[in-house]
Structure 1
Amino acid sequence: MRIFSARYAALTLASLLPAAAVVADPQGLLPYRDADAVAQGQALYADHCAACHGARLEGEPDWRARDEDGYLPAPPHDVTGHTWHHPDAQLFDITKYGIEAIVGNGYKSRMMGYEHVLSDDEILSILAFIKSTWPEGVIARHDQLNRVAGN
């Protein structure tokens, strides 16, 4: 299968462009049912994401309120956050390129892109780990979002 990467202006859906070849879940791009991918993602999440997004995916306190410098704290990736409100390709792009690059228009974020740090497969594994922690009902809603988005 192919993974599709997309640039999203102001976090809206855009045209999907082919990127790297990976084995993806039929419900989207993330191999969240693949135990090996999830285990790899969990380890990579601990190394690259947990410092900001929390060891239990809980995010930083007051993540919806900008700080004195105008930045939003890191959001949770558990069910209390909004990660599952975005299709796989958008989550992939945010992780790979950083939120500032995706939103544009001077949007400020401390979320750097991992394009030169993690491979595409590693990014997918991290996102698969995150998705694997959500309740089945949230996963079903996210899978539906992916179908609508064409992931």
Structure 2
Amino acid sequence: MKPIYLASLAVAITGLAAVVYVVGIPSRSVSAVASIFASNASEAMLAQGQILYQENCASCHGKSLEGQPNWREPDADGRLPAPPHDESGHTWHHPDSMLFDYTKFGGQVTLATMGVEMESGMPAFGERLSDDQIRSVLDYIKSTWPARVHAAQAEQTRADEEARNK
């Protein structure tokens, strides 16, 4: 076979494996998620985000976005445990720009640039994930929120963007 055909076959097999993996995750179906999520995120991007979340985030933030126990109480090192990313957490209180920076550059760096002195256990994923992959993870997380929470976070993002453009 020619190399281009082998590459195409590999991409097709990888895509099929991703669909099988996502369907096997005990959560909302990707099509159900895509139908309630009002953004430019395609069903494929949400599926990719769900896979990347499970591979990179679930070990701390929980397979079902539930976070670690007692996430509001500092641990022995003075750091807050990983918060939930579902509606019970505070992720949705922050604009997209902060969520992106926190994920790409890590909590400590992002907080420091905001003038906040606080220990953060959130590592930087900027060398592990591309910007588009980070966005797909964030889109997946946001797609799990109820409409009222999604609307509140969208308003935070709109206000932040307006302030940045002044």
Band the TM-score falls in, shorter-chain normalisation: 0.7 to 0.9
Deviation of 1:106 after TM superposition, in Å, equals 5.1
2:78 is the counterpart of 1:67? no
> Could you tell me which residue of structure 1 aligns to residue 142 of structure 2?
131
2:57 is the counterpart of 1:46? no
> Could you tell me which residue of structure 2 aligns to residue 148 of structure 1?
159
Contact 2:41–2:136 under 8 Å retained in 1: no
Distance in 2 of aligned mates of 1:71 and 1:51: 17
Higher strand share: 1
4+ long deviations beyond 6 Å: none
> Could you tell me which residue of structure 1 aligns to residue 87 of structure 2?
79
Distance in 2 of aligned mates of 1:108 and 1:68: 12
Give the aligned length: 122
Rg larger in structure: 2
Q: Which residues in structure 2 correspond to 1:6-45 (within 5 Å)?
A: 31=39, 33-45=41-53
Root-mean-square deviation over aligned CA pairs: 1.7
> Could you tell me which residue of structure 2 aligns to residue 12 of structure 1?
none
Please report the TM-score for the alignment, with normalisation by the length of structure 2: 0.70
How far does the alpha carbon of each residue in 1:21-46 deviate from its partner, in whole angstroms, 9 at most, with x for none? xxxxxxxxx95642111110000000
Distance in 2 of aligned mates of 1:48 and 1:116: 12
- Measured at CA, do residues 73 and 129 of structure 1 come closer, stay the same or move farther in structure 2, by a change above 3 Å? same
Higher helix share: 2
Gaps of 5+ in 1: 1-29
Contact 1:33–1:132 under 8 Å retained in 2: no
Q: Which residues in structure 2 correspond to 1:103-114 (within 5 Å)?
A: 103-104=111-112, 107-114=118-125
Distance in 2 of aligned mates of 1:86 and 1:98: 15
Contact 1:31–1:37 under 8 Å retained in 2: no
- Measured at CA, do residues 74 and 47 of structure 1 come closer, stay the same or move farther in structure 2, by a change above 3 Å? same
Moved more, 50-59 or 139-148: 139-148
> Could you tell me which residue of structure 1 aligns to residue 107 of structure 2?
99
Query: Percent identical across equivalent pairs?
Result: 48
> Could you tell me which residue of structure 2 aligns to residue 90 of structure 1?
98
Q: Which one has more relative contact order, counting CA pairs under 8 Å at least 6 apart?
A: 1
Residue in structure 2 matching 1:118, options 129, 150, 157: 129
Contact 1:63–1:74 under 8 Å retained in 2: yes
Gaps of 5+ in 2: 1-37
Partner SS for 1:150: helix
Please report the TM-score for the alignment, with normalisation by the length of structure 1: 0.76
> Could you tell me which residue of structure 2 aligns to residue 18 of structure 1?
none
Deviation of 1:147 after TM superposition, in Å, equals 1.2
